[in-house]
Structure formats: structure tokens, C-alpha cells
A and B are shown apart, each in its own frame.
Chain A
Amino acid sequence: MAFLWSLASLISLEGKGHYIHWHFIYLSVANFIVILLMVLVFLAALFVPFPGRASRKESK
């Protein structure tokens, strides 16, 4: 449990939030990180080989 508390203290939730403001785009850094993660996972889903794909193609 103490380990979890120390993890939580890594990110300070006190004070103002951080935002990205570029022209009309205005979003929190947290949301930007989530979008970035989604793009990374999407690219990984396209390019990381699926287990057993080669054997399936052969059997076909």
C-alpha cells in the first residue's frame, strides 16, 4: 500500500493543470498524452506481427 502512495506522489495533482494552447486547439496535457498513446497503440497494432500468423497462412 505504501508503494502505491509513493507512486501517486510522483505526479503532483496540486495547483493548476497543464494545457496545450495552439491557435484554436486547447487541450490538457493529460488528454494529449492519452491521444498520443492511442496513436502509438494503433501503429503497433498495424505493424507488430500477430502470434501464429505465418502458420495460419501456410495452413490456408
Chain B
Amino acid sequence: MSTTIERQWTTRLRKRATGKLPPEKALPDTQPAYVASWIYVFGVATIASFVMVILSGFILALRGPQWWHVSSVGHFVNSLHLWSVEILFFSMVIHLWGKFFMAAWRGGRTMTWMTGVVTFLVSIATAFTGYASQTNFDSQWITTQAKDGINATGAGSFFNVLNLGQMLMWHIVLLPLVAVLLTAVHVVLVRLKGVVPPFDDKTGAAK
């Protein structure tokens, strides 16, 4: 009986997950001393602004374009969505610069770095489809300018920036799903491998 339980996929998955990432490692009480620097703050600042983007996006999705174009509260939430994105990219670029100059891929952190890179690219695509879905003259201008560039790559055959419905679906369903999943994997990898130490760290953690 116990052998049967041991062979269950749920049992094996739980043991593997808790073995690799025990609760005290997943949600640690303390961090190494070198993490006490402002440069380490921008990763979590990016996540905080991402949460604001998602929450304001939920409200915009509930009420729709007419609401965000005409009502004062709609204008406010629309602006909240835009400025959260601005802060997200601002923080993410500083996070990227910081990690690039400390070579954050060291010590077996290649996948942490690569998931960050792909998340950055997905965020650009998500922001672009957002600008294309505003339903105003700005989005009209952006999409008519972008179509020639995208058609020149051949991607226009399945990614039509002039198709508002398609752009909106990419913006509110497909790309956010990918961005959230990648961010989750990125954070789990940071927890698994630990925060990259500075070059001059003498504790032996740096590799």
C-alpha cells in the first residue's frame, strides 16, 4: 500500500518540490548582507508595478473602453494603468542594468538570466499590443505605422496590428498569461539559486 502511495505522481512531485525548494528557502526570513543595497530593490519594484498593472487592467476590462474614455474615474484608472507600465519599464531597465554589470548569470544562474530576458521581450510585446488597443487616435496612428514594419517581417500573416479584436486578446489574455508564468518561474529560480553575490564577495558564494 505504502509503495503504491510512494509511486503516485502527486507524492513524487511534492517530495521533489519540497526537496528542491523547502518553505524556509522559498520564503526566507533573512537575505545575505550584500543584498542591503538599493540596486537589489528594482527587481521587486518591477513586480510591485506589475501587480498594479494587472489590477488596473482588471478594472479596465470590467468597465470597457467607453468608460475609460469618458468618465473621470475611467480616466484615472486608465492613467493608473499607463503609469504603472511606465514605472514597470523604468524599474525593469534599471534591474537589467544592475544584473548585467554584476554578471547575474554566474554560479549556475543562466536560466534565471534567460527567463528575465524573455520576460523583458514579452513585456515589450504586451505593452505594444496595449498601445494598439487604446481605441483612440493614438492607437490608430501607432498601428498604421507599425503594420508596414511587421508585414515586412512576414509576421503580419498571423499578427495583424490593424485587427483590434486580435490585439486586445493578445494584450489581455495571451501575453499577460505568458508574462505572469515567466515572472513566477524567474522568481522561483531566484529562490532556488539565491540572489547573485557581488564580484568582491569573499564568503565563497560568488562563482
**Residues of A bordering B, CB below 8 Å:** 34, 37-38, 41-42, 44-46, 48, 50, 52-53, 56-57, 60
Contact of A42 with B36 in the complex, beta carbons under 8 Å? no
Contact of B97 with A56 in the complex, beta carbons under 8 Å? no
Contact of B38 with A57 in the complex, beta carbons under 8 Å? no
* Complex interface residues of chain B between 45 and 96 (CB less than 8 A to chain A): 90, 93-94
Known A37-B90, A50-B37, A57-B33; further 11 A-B contacts with Cβ < 8 A: A38-B90, A38-B94, A42-B39, A44-B38, A45-B37, A45-B39, A46-B37, A52-B36, A53-B36, A56-B33, A57-B36
**Residues of B bordering A, CB below 8 Å:** 33, 36-39, 41-42, 90, 93-94, 97-98
Main secondary structure of the interface of B (DSSP, over half): helix
Q: Which of B33, B38, B42, B90 is packed against the most chain A CB atoms within 10 Å?
A: B38
Q: Which residues of A contact B36 (CB under 8 A)?
A: 50, 52-53, 56-57
Q: Which residues of A contact B97 (CB under 8 A)?
A: 42
**Contact A53 to B37, CB < 8 A, known contacts A42-B97, A42-B98, A45-B42:** yes
Contact of B33 with A42 in the complex, beta carbons under 8 Å? no
Q: Which residues of A contact B98 (CB under 8 A)?
A: 42, 45
Q: Which residues of A contact B39 (CB under 8 A)?
A: 42, 45-46
Contact of B33 with A45 in the complex, beta carbons under 8 Å? no
The one of A41, A48, A50, A57 in contact with B94, judged by C-beta atoms closer than 8 angstroms, is: A41
A53 CA to B33 CA in the complex, in Å?
8
A37 CA to B33 CA in the complex, in Å?
28
